[in-house]
Protein backbone atom coordinates (compact mmCIF):
# COMPACT_ATOMS: atom_id res chain seq x y z
CA UNK A 1 0.00 0.00 0.00
CA UNK A 2 1.39 3.35 -1.03
CA UNK A 3 1.21 6.11 1.52
CA UNK A 4 1.92 9.15 -0.62
CA UNK A 5 -0.92 11.62 -0.89
CA UNK A 6 -3.46 12.07 1.84
CA UNK A 7 -6.89 11.38 0.47
CA UNK A 8 -7.57 7.65 0.67
CA UNK A 9 -11.24 8.44 1.43
CA UNK A 10 -11.50 9.85 -2.08
CA UNK A 11 -9.82 6.74 -3.48
CA UNK A 12 -12.27 4.53 -1.55
CA UNK A 13 -15.19 6.57 -2.86
CA UNK A 14 -14.08 6.23 -6.50
CA UNK A 15 -13.26 2.53 -6.28
CA UNK A 16 -16.44 1.60 -4.42
CA UNK A 17 -18.73 3.64 -6.71
CA UNK A 18 -17.00 2.13 -9.75
CA UNK A 19 -17.21 -1.30 -8.13
CA UNK A 20 -20.97 -0.93 -7.73
CA UNK A 21 -21.21 -0.07 -11.45
CA UNK A 22 -19.19 -3.21 -12.22
CA UNK A 23 -21.26 -5.57 -10.07
CA UNK A 24 -24.73 -4.09 -10.55
CA UNK A 25 -25.36 -5.65 -14.00
CA UNK A 26 -24.40 -9.09 -12.70
CA UNK A 27 -26.63 -8.61 -9.68
CA UNK A 28 -29.51 -7.58 -11.96
CA UNK A 29 -28.84 -10.66 -14.09
CA UNK A 30 -29.11 -13.02 -11.10
CA UNK A 31 -32.12 -11.22 -9.61
CA UNK A 32 -34.04 -11.13 -12.90
CA UNK A 33 -33.47 -14.84 -13.37
CA UNK A 34 -35.81 -15.42 -10.41
CA UNK A 35 -38.54 -13.02 -11.52
CA UNK A 36 -41.90 -14.50 -12.41
CA UNK A 37 -44.43 -13.54 -15.08
CA UNK A 38 -45.90 -10.48 -13.35
CA UNK A 39 -42.60 -9.22 -11.97
CA UNK A 40 -40.40 -8.59 -14.96
CA UNK A 41 -40.83 -5.53 -17.17
CA UNK A 42 -43.06 -3.77 -14.67
CA UNK A 43 -42.80 -0.07 -13.80
CA UNK A 44 -41.69 0.94 -11.18
CA UNK A 45 -38.55 -1.18 -11.41
CA UNK A 46 -37.72 -3.43 -8.46
CA UNK A 47 -34.33 -5.08 -8.12
CA UNK A 48 -35.35 -7.90 -5.79
CA UNK A 49 -37.65 -10.72 -6.94
CA UNK A 50 -40.62 -11.65 -4.77
CA UNK A 51 -39.32 -15.15 -4.19
CA UNK A 52 -36.43 -17.36 -5.24
CA UNK A 53 -38.52 -19.53 -7.54
CA UNK A 54 -36.63 -21.66 -10.01
CA UNK A 55 -39.25 -21.74 -12.77
CA UNK A 56 -37.04 -19.81 -15.20
CA UNK A 57 -34.23 -22.30 -14.68
CA UNK A 58 -36.60 -25.19 -15.33
CA UNK A 59 -37.89 -23.36 -18.39
CA UNK A 60 -34.34 -22.73 -19.61
CA UNK A 61 -33.60 -26.44 -19.35
CA UNK A 62 -36.69 -27.46 -21.30
CA UNK A 63 -36.55 -24.74 -23.99
CA UNK A 64 -32.84 -24.79 -24.57
CA UNK A 65 -31.68 -28.39 -24.61
CA UNK A 66 -29.05 -27.21 -22.18
CA UNK A 67 -27.27 -30.58 -21.98
CA UNK A 68 -26.57 -30.50 -25.74
CA UNK A 69 -25.37 -26.86 -25.65
CA UNK A 70 -23.24 -27.64 -22.63
CA UNK A 71 -21.73 -30.71 -24.29
CA UNK A 72 -20.83 -28.74 -27.44
CA UNK A 73 -19.32 -25.94 -25.38
CA UNK A 74 -17.21 -28.42 -23.38
CA UNK A 75 -16.03 -30.37 -26.45
CA UNK A 76 -15.03 -27.25 -28.36
CA UNK A 77 -13.43 -25.48 -25.41
CA UNK A 78 -11.43 -28.48 -24.21
CA UNK A 79 -10.23 -29.40 -27.72
CA UNK A 80 -9.12 -25.87 -28.53
CA UNK A 81 -7.42 -25.36 -25.17
CA UNK A 82 -5.50 -28.66 -25.27
CA UNK A 83 -4.48 -28.08 -28.87
CA UNK A 84 -3.31 -24.50 -28.26
CA UNK A 85 -1.29 -25.62 -25.24
CA UNK A 86 0.47 -28.44 -27.11
CA UNK A 87 1.17 -26.57 -30.34
CA UNK A 88 2.36 -23.47 -28.45
CA UNK A 89 4.68 -25.51 -26.25
CA UNK A 90 6.10 -27.31 -29.31
CA UNK A 91 6.68 -24.21 -31.43
CA UNK A 92 7.73 -22.11 -28.46
CA UNK A 93 10.45 -24.62 -27.59
CA UNK A 94 11.86 -24.62 -31.12
CA UNK A 95 11.93 -20.82 -31.22
CA UNK A 96 13.41 -20.47 -27.75
CA UNK A 97 16.01 -23.23 -27.56
CA UNK A 98 16.84 -24.77 -30.93
CA UNK A 99 19.29 -23.31 -33.44
CA UNK A 100 18.16 -23.54 -37.05
CA UNK A 101 18.11 -21.55 -40.22
CA UNK A 102 15.10 -19.25 -40.51
CA UNK A 103 14.45 -18.94 -36.78
CA UNK A 104 14.41 -15.12 -36.76
CA UNK A 105 12.14 -15.00 -39.82
CA UNK A 106 9.66 -17.47 -38.37
CA UNK A 107 9.60 -15.67 -35.05
CA UNK A 108 8.88 -12.37 -36.76
CA UNK A 109 6.17 -14.09 -38.82
CA UNK A 110 4.53 -15.38 -35.61
CA UNK A 111 4.54 -11.84 -34.21
CA UNK A 112 2.99 -10.58 -37.44
CA UNK A 113 0.17 -13.14 -37.23
CA UNK A 114 -1.03 -11.39 -34.09
CA UNK A 115 -1.55 -8.17 -36.05
CA UNK A 116 -4.01 -9.71 -38.51
CA UNK A 117 -7.49 -8.84 -37.24
CA UNK A 118 -9.90 -11.81 -37.05
CA UNK A 119 -12.77 -10.09 -38.89
CA UNK A 120 -10.66 -9.87 -42.05
CA UNK A 121 -10.35 -13.66 -42.18
CA UNK A 122 -14.01 -14.34 -41.33
CA UNK A 123 -15.37 -14.51 -44.89
CA UNK A 124 -12.50 -16.44 -46.52
CA UNK A 125 -12.23 -18.87 -43.60
CA UNK A 126 -15.96 -19.58 -43.85
CA UNK A 127 -15.64 -20.22 -47.57
CA UNK A 128 -12.63 -22.47 -46.98
CA UNK A 129 -14.56 -24.53 -44.43
CA UNK A 130 -17.45 -24.77 -46.87
CA UNK A 131 -15.19 -26.03 -49.65
CA UNK A 132 -12.99 -28.28 -47.49
CA UNK A 133 -11.87 -31.24 -49.61
CA UNK A 134 -13.36 -34.64 -48.79
CA UNK A 135 -15.64 -33.36 -46.03
CA UNK A 136 -19.42 -33.22 -45.90
CA UNK A 137 -19.74 -34.87 -49.31
CA UNK A 138 -17.18 -32.63 -51.06
CA UNK A 139 -14.89 -34.18 -53.66
CA UNK A 140 -11.10 -33.88 -53.37
CA UNK A 141 -11.24 -30.39 -54.90
CA UNK A 142 -13.78 -29.31 -52.31
CA UNK A 143 -16.69 -29.15 -54.72
CA UNK A 144 -20.15 -30.59 -54.91
CA UNK A 145 -20.82 -31.36 -51.28
CA UNK A 146 -23.39 -30.02 -48.93
CA UNK A 147 -21.76 -27.74 -46.38
CA UNK A 148 -18.25 -29.19 -46.26
CA UNK A 149 -16.77 -28.97 -42.80
CA UNK A 150 -19.40 -26.48 -41.63
CA UNK A 151 -21.67 -29.32 -40.60
CA UNK A 152 -19.27 -30.63 -37.98
CA UNK A 153 -18.04 -29.42 -34.61
CA UNK A 154 -14.58 -29.48 -36.22
CA UNK A 155 -15.57 -26.20 -37.87
CA UNK A 156 -15.66 -24.60 -34.43
CA UNK A 157 -12.35 -26.16 -33.38
CA UNK A 158 -9.94 -26.21 -36.33
CA UNK A 159 -9.65 -22.44 -36.96
CA UNK A 160 -8.56 -21.92 -33.35
CA UNK A 161 -6.14 -24.82 -32.83
CA UNK A 162 -2.99 -22.69 -32.95
CA UNK A 163 -2.44 -19.30 -31.37
CA UNK A 164 0.32 -16.87 -32.32
CA UNK A 165 -0.04 -15.26 -28.91
CA UNK A 166 0.33 -18.67 -27.25
CA UNK A 167 3.52 -19.45 -29.15
CA UNK A 168 4.90 -16.04 -28.24
CA UNK A 169 4.03 -16.49 -24.55
CA UNK A 170 5.63 -19.98 -24.43
CA UNK A 171 8.74 -18.82 -26.26
CA UNK A 172 9.26 -15.89 -23.88
CA UNK A 173 8.94 -18.21 -20.91
CA UNK A 174 11.12 -21.03 -22.26
CA UNK A 175 13.94 -18.72 -23.27
CA UNK A 176 14.64 -18.20 -19.56
CA UNK A 177 15.00 -21.94 -18.83
CA UNK A 178 18.70 -22.71 -18.11
CA UNK A 179 20.59 -24.14 -21.10
CA UNK A 180 22.77 -26.25 -18.79
CA UNK A 181 19.80 -28.44 -17.93
CA UNK A 182 19.05 -29.17 -21.59
CA UNK A 183 22.75 -29.74 -22.38
CA UNK A 184 23.01 -32.20 -19.50
CA UNK A 185 20.05 -34.16 -20.85
CA UNK A 186 21.62 -34.17 -24.30
CA UNK A 187 24.86 -35.58 -22.90
CA UNK A 188 22.85 -38.26 -21.17
CA UNK A 189 21.68 -39.26 -24.64
CA UNK A 190 18.20 -37.77 -24.71
CA UNK A 191 16.84 -36.74 -28.10
CA UNK A 192 14.97 -33.45 -28.66
CA UNK A 193 11.57 -35.04 -28.24
CA UNK A 194 12.56 -36.55 -24.90
CA UNK A 195 14.08 -33.27 -23.74
CA UNK A 196 10.88 -31.43 -24.62
CA UNK A 197 8.59 -34.03 -23.13
CA UNK A 198 10.47 -34.88 -19.92
CA UNK A 199 12.42 -31.75 -19.05
CA UNK A 200 10.92 -28.67 -20.69
CA UNK A 201 7.21 -29.47 -20.52
CA UNK A 202 7.01 -30.06 -16.74
CA UNK A 203 8.71 -26.71 -16.13
CA UNK A 204 6.20 -24.73 -18.19
CA UNK A 205 3.37 -25.37 -15.74
CA UNK A 206 2.83 -21.74 -14.62
CA UNK A 207 2.76 -20.28 -18.12
CA UNK A 208 0.67 -23.23 -19.33
CA UNK A 209 -1.96 -22.49 -16.69
CA UNK A 210 -2.01 -18.85 -17.77
CA UNK A 211 -2.32 -19.66 -21.46
CA UNK A 212 -4.80 -22.46 -20.82
CA UNK A 213 -7.02 -20.17 -18.80
CA UNK A 214 -6.98 -17.33 -21.34
CA UNK A 215 -7.77 -19.80 -24.13
CA UNK A 216 -10.43 -21.60 -22.11
CA UNK A 217 -12.34 -18.42 -21.24
CA UNK A 218 -11.96 -16.94 -24.73
CA UNK A 219 -13.24 -20.12 -26.41
CA UNK A 220 -16.09 -20.69 -23.96
CA UNK A 221 -17.32 -17.16 -24.66
CA UNK A 222 -16.69 -17.13 -28.44
CA UNK A 223 -19.77 -15.87 -30.26
CA UNK A 224 -19.46 -14.57 -33.84
CA UNK A 225 -17.88 -17.60 -35.53
CA UNK A 226 -20.13 -20.08 -33.73
CA UNK A 227 -23.20 -18.02 -34.63
CA UNK A 228 -22.14 -18.12 -38.27
CA UNK A 229 -21.35 -21.83 -38.43
CA UNK A 230 -24.42 -22.93 -36.49
CA UNK A 231 -26.81 -20.73 -38.47
CA UNK A 232 -27.36 -23.54 -40.96
CA UNK A 233 -26.94 -26.37 -38.45
CA UNK A 234 -28.43 -25.63 -34.99
CA UNK A 235 -27.02 -28.88 -33.60
CA UNK A 236 -23.63 -27.12 -33.49
CA UNK A 237 -24.75 -24.33 -31.15
CA UNK A 238 -22.77 -23.66 -28.01
CA UNK A 239 -24.12 -22.09 -24.82
CA UNK A 240 -23.78 -18.39 -25.76
CA UNK A 241 -25.31 -18.86 -29.22
CA UNK A 242 -28.11 -21.15 -28.04
CA UNK A 243 -29.12 -18.77 -25.28
CA UNK A 244 -29.03 -15.73 -27.56
CA UNK A 245 -31.20 -17.44 -30.18
CA UNK A 246 -33.77 -18.40 -27.56
CA UNK A 247 -35.04 -14.84 -27.84
CA UNK A 248 -36.04 -15.20 -31.45
CA UNK A 249 -38.71 -17.81 -30.80
CA UNK A 250 -40.21 -16.83 -27.46
CA UNK A 251 -42.41 -13.92 -26.41
CA UNK A 252 -39.91 -11.11 -25.58
CA UNK A 253 -41.42 -10.05 -22.25
CA UNK A 254 -41.45 -13.60 -21.01
CA UNK A 255 -38.04 -14.46 -22.50
CA UNK A 256 -35.62 -12.15 -20.73
CA UNK A 257 -35.83 -13.81 -17.29
CA UNK A 258 -35.36 -17.24 -18.91
CA UNK A 259 -32.40 -15.92 -20.90
CA UNK A 260 -30.97 -14.57 -17.65
CA UNK A 261 -31.36 -17.99 -16.03
CA UNK A 262 -29.52 -19.56 -18.96
CA UNK A 263 -26.80 -16.94 -18.73
CA UNK A 264 -26.33 -17.55 -15.01
CA UNK A 265 -25.87 -21.26 -15.76
CA UNK A 266 -23.44 -20.63 -18.62
CA UNK A 267 -21.42 -18.00 -16.75
CA UNK A 268 -20.94 -20.03 -13.58
CA UNK A 269 -18.35 -22.55 -14.88
CA UNK A 270 -16.16 -19.79 -16.29
CA UNK A 271 -16.54 -17.69 -13.17
CA UNK A 272 -15.49 -20.58 -10.92
CA UNK A 273 -12.49 -21.42 -13.13
CA UNK A 274 -11.53 -17.75 -13.21
CA UNK A 275 -11.82 -17.20 -9.47
CA UNK A 276 -9.77 -20.32 -8.68
CA UNK A 277 -6.98 -19.40 -11.10
CA UNK A 278 -7.38 -15.60 -11.26
CA UNK A 279 -3.76 -15.02 -10.20
CA UNK A 280 -2.58 -16.73 -13.41
CA UNK A 281 -5.10 -15.00 -15.63
CA UNK A 282 -4.15 -11.58 -14.30
CA UNK A 283 -0.49 -12.35 -14.93
CA UNK A 284 -1.22 -13.35 -18.52
CA UNK A 285 -3.01 -10.08 -19.25
CA UNK A 286 -0.15 -8.12 -17.73
CA UNK A 287 2.43 -10.14 -19.70
CA UNK A 288 0.60 -9.46 -22.94
CA UNK A 289 0.54 -5.77 -22.05
CA UNK A 290 4.21 -5.45 -21.24
CA UNK A 291 5.73 -7.33 -24.15
Partner 1 sequence: MTSAVGRVGTLAVPARRVGKLQREGRAAYLFLAPALVFFCVFLILPFIFAIVLAFSDWGGFDLGTLKWAGTANFGDVLSFDGTFVKPILVNTLLFAFGSVFLATFGSVLVAYCIDRLAFQGFWRVLYFLPVVATVVAIGNVWKMMYQPAGLINGVLNKLGVNSIGFLSDASYALPSVTVVQAWASIGGAVLILTAGLKAIPEMYYEAAEVDGANSWHMFWSITLPLLRPALLFVLITQFIGGLQSFALIIVMTGDGGPVNATNVAAFEMYQRAFKYGAWGTASAMAMVLFVIILAITLLQLWIARRRGEETS
Segment 133 to 152, residues that bind partner 1, using CB under 8 A: 143
131 forms part of the interface with partner 1 (CB under 8 A): yes
Segment 33 to 92, residues that bind partner 1, using CB under 8 A: 40-47, 86-88, 90-91
Peptide bond into 153 cis (omega under 30): no
126 forms part of the interface with partner 1 (CB under 8 A): yes
Q: How far is CA 16 from the centre of its chain?
A: 29
174 forms part of the interface with partner 1 (CB under 8 A): no
Alpha-carbon span 246 to 228, nearest angstrom: 16
Site pattern 175..214 for partner 1 (x: CB under 8 A): ----xx--xx--x---xxx--x------------------
Q: What dihedral do alpha carbons 59, 68, 149, 82 form, nearest 10°?
A: 120
Site pattern 1..40 for partner 1 (x: CB under 8 A): xxxxxxxx-xxx-xx--xx-xxxxxx-xx--x-------x
Nearer CB in complex with partner 1: 24/198: 24
Residue from 243, 258, 261, 280 in contact with partner 1 (CB under 8 A) = 243
Site pattern 92..121 for partner 1 (x: CB under 8 A): -xxx--xxxx-x--x--xx--x-xxxxxxx
Q: Report DSSP letters for 259-291, one per residue.
A: HHHHHHHHHHHHHHHHHHHHHHHHHHHHHHH--
Alpha-carbon span 246 to 260, nearest angstrom: 11
Contact of 72 with 149, CB cutoff 8 Å: no
Nearer CB in complex with partner 1: 101/205: 101
Residue from 51, 53, 62, 278 in contact with partner 1 (CB under 8 A) = 278
**Residues that contact partner 1, how many (by CB under 8 A):** 111
Among residues 267, 252, 256, which one has the least CA distance to residue 49?
256
Alpha-carbon span 158 to 180, nearest angstrom: 37
Among residues 215, 278, 269, which one has the least CA distance to residue 66?
269
Q: Shortest approach of partner 1 to residue 52 CB, angstroms? A: 19
Q: Shortest approach of partner 1 to residue 45 CB, angstroms? A: 3
Nearer CB in complex with partner 1: 71/186: 186
125 forms part of the interface with partner 1 (CB under 8 A): yes
249 forms part of the interface with partner 1 (CB under 8 A): no
CB atoms closer than 10 angstroms to residue 112: 10
Amino acid sequence: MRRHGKFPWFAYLVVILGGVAMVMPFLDMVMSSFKGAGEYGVIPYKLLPESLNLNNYREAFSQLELPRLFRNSVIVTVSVTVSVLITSALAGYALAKLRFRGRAVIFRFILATMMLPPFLLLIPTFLIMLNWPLAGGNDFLGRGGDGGLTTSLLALILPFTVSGFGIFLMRQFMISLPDEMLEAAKIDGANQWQIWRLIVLPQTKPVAITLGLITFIGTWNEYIWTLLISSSDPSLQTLPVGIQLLQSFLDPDRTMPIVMAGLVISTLPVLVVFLVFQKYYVRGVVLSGLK
